């Protein structure tokens, strides 16, 4: 059985050494569930630790009636391993003591910090905030499979709290909020013909070309300030394709545009802007010869730094906070009106890499700050 009270560095290694590629999380979920049930079994019944499981999602919470509740959430799955399990420990290129292996950054070190804090503080008289811990499956694959999304649909009460902290790698710095994202597929439709008789066809790529030009000409590189944090927007063509053969007029050409927008906008506002820029109508009313499909619409998450629970977290951790670039599960909490931040060990630039690595000083540092927050008056 995994010992949750061991140092988070050692706990990280124990978790990394349990292979848990997306859709294969049963073994690690079994281990985490057994460990949390052991914590609950050894606790004073009056403190009322609850442990439940839904699919390969394991949840536990304290029920001590404390003034506020903190949700600690992390995913158990990883991307496919690349000869980087089991974990190893050694020096990185700068000579720092470092853990290497799939999941050391994304995000079993964050999981280890949270599981350790829960085990250490669940019965401690020093705990000043009730805790909910959620270890969920399938974050690294399609959003429809996401364990936190499924839990929100099945048992939304488990996500309730005054603040949610996700242990995603953030370089041991609090990252607040996140960008939203919309992605639209634009398809131009034509008629196929031999290129020697091109006038008999209708070149779909030529139809799409002005749309590409409009998207490319749009200056979507903007910085938007919210709660003192700067969110960088971007509007880009991310994929484009056409062609049947080198002697054939193409009858179809398509591209994807991706708009990463500041969290002050709704997805509908972002879609309206996207449709205005590309200028060929909307999915329900496209211009002749075009088809538009919404491929993704993920709302952003406002930083919520004005909430008392978020302010207290920032104060305890030294006030070091920045905007989050990219979309994360903090948005699921924000949609429920719960302020949420990313705060975990590891440089996200090493996530998913064969040489994925996390300096142990980050694991220790985040642990100390999380423990301090959960016990602060």
* CATH code, domain carrying 311: 3.40.630.10
Q: Which of 33, 130, 137, 139 is catalytic?
A: 139
Does residue 59 share a domain with residue 140?
Answer: yes
Does residue 112 share a domain with residue 143?
Answer: yes
Does residue 74 share a domain with residue 208?
Answer: no
Q: Is 204 contained in some domain?
A: yes
3-state secondary structure of 272: helix
Does residue 184 share a domain with residue 173?
Answer: no
What's residue 142's pLDDT?
82
How many domains, in total, are found in the chain?
2
Q: Which domain holds residue 191?
A: 180-298
Does residue 218 share a domain with residue 307?
Answer: no
Cα R_g (the chain), whole angstroms: 24
- 57 forms beta bridges with 54
Kindly state the DSSP code that residue 48 receives in the 8-state scheme. -
Neighbours of 322 (CB within 10 A): 14
Residues in contact with 190: Cβ distance below 8 Å, sequence separation at least 6, in sequence order: 201, 202, 203, 204, 205, 206, 207, 249, 250, 251, 252, 253, 289
- 58 forms beta bridges with 53, 135
φ, ψ at 132 (rounded to 5°): -120, 130
Q: Is 1 contained in some domain?
A: no
Does residue 314 share a domain with residue 199?
Answer: no
139 is catalytic: yes
Strand 248-249 relative to strand 193-194, pairing: antiparallel
Does residue 305 share a domain with residue 293?
Answer: no
For the chain of 377 residues, list the mean pLDDT of each consecutive stretch of 10.
96 98 98 96 80 98 95 97 96 96 98 98 96 97 91 96 96 93 96 96 97 94 91 95 96 97 94 97 98 93 89 89 89 91 95 96 97 95
77 is catalytic: yes
Q: Which of 77, 106, 111, 137 is catalytic?
A: 77
DSSP string, 67-125: S-EEEEEEE--BSPP-S--S-EEEE-TT--EEEESTTTTTTHHHHHHHHHHHHHHTT-T
Nearest Cα neighbor of 62 from 76, 72, 75 is 72
What's residue 46's pLDDT?
58
Name the helix (H) or strand (E) containing 358: strand 357-359
Q: Which of 261, 278, 298 is the last residue of a domain?
A: 298
Q: Is 47 contained in some domain?
A: yes
Does residue 263 share a domain with residue 241?
Answer: yes
């Amino acid at each position: 059985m995994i010992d949750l009270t061991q140092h988070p560095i050692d706990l990280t290694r124990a978790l990394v050494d349990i292979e848990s590629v997306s859709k294969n999380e049963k073994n690690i979920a079994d281990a985490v569930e057994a460990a949390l049930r052991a914590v609950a079994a050894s606790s004073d019944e009056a403190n009322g630790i609850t442990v439940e499981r839904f699919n390969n999602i394991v949840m536990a919470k304290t029920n001590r009636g404390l003034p506020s509740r903190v949700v600690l959430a992390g995913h158990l799955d990883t991307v496919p391993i690349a000869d980087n399990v089991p974990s190893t420990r050694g020096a990185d290129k700068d000579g720092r003591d470092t853990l290497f292996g799939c999941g050391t950054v994304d995000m079993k070190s964050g999981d280890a910090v949270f599981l350790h804090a829960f085990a250490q503080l669940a019965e401690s008289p020093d705990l000043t905030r009730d805790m909910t811990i959620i270890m969920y499956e399938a974050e690294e694959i399609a959003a429809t499979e996401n364990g936190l999304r499924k839990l929100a649909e099945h048992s939304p009460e488990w996500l309730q709290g005054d603040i949610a902290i996700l242990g995603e790698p953030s370089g041991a710095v609090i990252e607040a909020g996140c960008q939203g994202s919309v992605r639209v597929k634009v398809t131009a439709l034509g008629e196929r013909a031999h290129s020697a008789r091109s006038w008999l066809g209708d070149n779909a790529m030529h139809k799409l070309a002005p749309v590409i030009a409009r998207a490319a000409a749009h200056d979507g590189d903007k910085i938007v300030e919210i709660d003192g944090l700067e969110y960088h927007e971007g509007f880009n063509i991310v994929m484009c394709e056409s062609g049947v053969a080198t002697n054939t007029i193409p009858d179809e050409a398509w591209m994807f545009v991706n708009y990463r927008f500041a969290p002050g906008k709704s997805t509908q506002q972002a879609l309206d802007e996207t449709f205005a820029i590309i200028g060929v109508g909307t999915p329900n009313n496209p211009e002749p010869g075009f088809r538009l499909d919404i491929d993704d619409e993920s709302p952003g998450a406002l930083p919520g730094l004005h909430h008392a629970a978020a302010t207290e977290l920032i104060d305890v951790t030294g006030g070091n906070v920045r905007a989050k670039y990219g979309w994360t599960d903090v948005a699921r909490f924000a949609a429920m009106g719960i302020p949420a931040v990313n705060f975990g060990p590891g440089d996200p630039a090493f996530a998913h890499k064969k040489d994925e690595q996390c300096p142990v000083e980050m694991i220790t540092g985040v642990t100390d700050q999380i423990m301090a927050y959960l016990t602060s008056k």
